[in-house]
Amino acid sequence: MNRTPLLFLNVFIIATCGLVYELLAGTLASYVLGDSITQFSFIIGIYLFALGVGAWLSGFLTTGLARTFVEVELGVGILGGLSAPLLFLSFARINYFHVVLYGVVFTIGVLVGLELPLLMRIVKDQLDFKELVSRVLTFDYIGALVASVLFPIFLVPKLGLVRTSLVFGILNAAVALWGTWLLRPLILRSVTPLRVRAAFVLLLLTVGLIKADALTSLAEDGLFADEIVYTRTTPYQRIVVTRSRAGFQLFLNGHLQFSSADEYRYHEALVHPAMTLAGKPRRVLILGGGDGLALREVLKHPAVEAVTLVDLDPDMTELSEHFGPLAELNRHAFADPRVQVVNQDAMIWLEEQGPRFDVAIVDFPDPNSFALGKLYTTRFYRLLRGHLETDGAVAIQSTSPLFSRRSFWCIVRTLEAAGFSARPYHVAVPSFGIWGFNLARLAPFEPPTHAPPGLRFLTDSALTAMFNMPADLSPLPVEVNRLDNQILVRYYDSEWRRWE
């Protein structure tokens, strides 16, 4: 019987499913734990090591290879398929989540590492050794490529983490069930128990897929203290909005972005020093800020004629259309005819020739990954310079100078290395604690001392006090953040890990 098709199909499925489970674990760990670089590094290392352990263990198996293969395939299906909901629920309910996380990754890796050697030994009589190895490796790498492409483009944005794991678990279980027919001559004892177990696993995972929304809600309810009122998975991030007695809160990938109860402190401090320093700015650029709250503050200045807001995620800039309380909070800022929204990577957009602006407001999430860290580099700030008028002003969200002091001063020094004169400042936001910003210009300057009238928080005295940096926020020796070192991301990971 020619079992070569089984080899090729299963090698492809094994590689695809294995990499998907690895990416799921890394993404989920970064989502609930932050510290994305360390988590992905550990998970990749543990998974690759586990593959080797599985391949080594396969050498001790001498009989019943076909039955063992089917059993292993079922094990990968049930553990991999349930990995995302299991890890979500574990994080919210147990204290030793890291043990569960790395244990799941290691076990899946061992099982996947067993599969390929078993398959190669099962079909070794069908092909000569040279052809066997070349085809196995070819389909192994093709499967890995397919998984790496589908995962960020289709699987996570369309299915979500929980559904993705369940779908691929079903795929593994289906291959196991099919294998009981294809490998029937090699399965020595009764095959019925294997088929019953495979059917049960398929049924269990299918029910899980049908109830995926309930599983996701159950898992996320444990991650957030307040009631979840809106969720959406986009190609770039997981958007979650919760509601409490004080208002509502926006989370991106599990990280709080603002609370409606006190966001005005943050956004008034971010926007108005730069707007005031620029005099009567007519053209304003906002990078990030897809919630429209910085935009709301910019539009309070009557001299403003045009605002360009550049945010990567269209689901973020359209959130106001789907969640009415946010539209009320940002005062329907996106409906203002002076506003142009561009959904594009900010660095790519800056590399293109475009208009110059009197003010730039930079409101990106904290630099907790290389993708975000590039937006805090000398390269990025030099591109930004090219879009500023000579006397233009820039305000930059710069993380906490108290909780991540080196990160804060790294941003200051990077701005200076890019040719800006920077003046750091800070404000107390109850939801975040002490938060930091940078006000910058191409030439040396003194910070403004008069705040616009009618604001909820910012007054003349508050504006002056923000630029007074106390001793525990004072400068530290740091490196400059460049594209080729991304030292800021490493500073950020190490500093915030102390507060977990």
Distance CA 155, CA 51 (A): 24
Give the number of residues written for the chain.
Answer: 500
Output b/e per residue, 159-197; b: 16+ Cβ within 10 A.
bbbbbbbbbbbbbbbbbbbbbbebbeeebeeebeebeeb
Spatial neighbors of 190 by CB under 8 A, at least 6 apart, are: none
Question: What angle, 0 to 180 degrees and rounded to 10, lies between the N-to-C axes of helices 487-497 and 405-417?
Answer: 160
Task: Return the SS3 of 449.
Answer: coil
Task: Return the SS3 of 3.
Answer: coil
Spatial neighbors of 378 by CB under 8 A, at least 6 apart, are: 414, 417, 418, 480, 481, 482, 483
H helices within 340-459, ranges in order?
A: 346-351, 370-373, 378-385, 405-417
Cβ neighbour number for residue 258 with a 10 Å cutoff: 23
Task: Return the SS3 of 392.
Answer: strand
CA-wise closest residue to 360 among 349, 372, 369: 349
Distance CA 63, CA 309 (A): 65
Distance CA 42, CA 322 (A): 38
Strands 306-310, 357-363: pairing kind: unpaired
Tokens of 136: 């196995």
Kindly name the residue from 363, 366, 460, 484 that is annotated as catalytic: 363
Tokens of 74: 């079922």
CA separation (Å) from 353 to 19, 165, 383, 385?
A: 39, 43, 10, 12
Taking a C-beta distance cutoff of 8 angstroms, is the pair 23, 151 a contact? yes
Strands 421-429, 433-441: pairing kind: antiparallel
Spatial neighbors of 243 by CB under 8 A, at least 6 apart, are: 226, 227, 229, 249
CA-wise closest residue to 16 among 164, 199, 127: 164
Q: Among this protein's residues, is 363 annotated catalytic?
A: yes
Output b/e per residue, 485-500; b: 16+ Cβ within 10 A.
ebbbbbbbbebbeeee
Longest C-alpha distance within the chain, in Å? 86
The residues carrying an active-site annotation are: 363
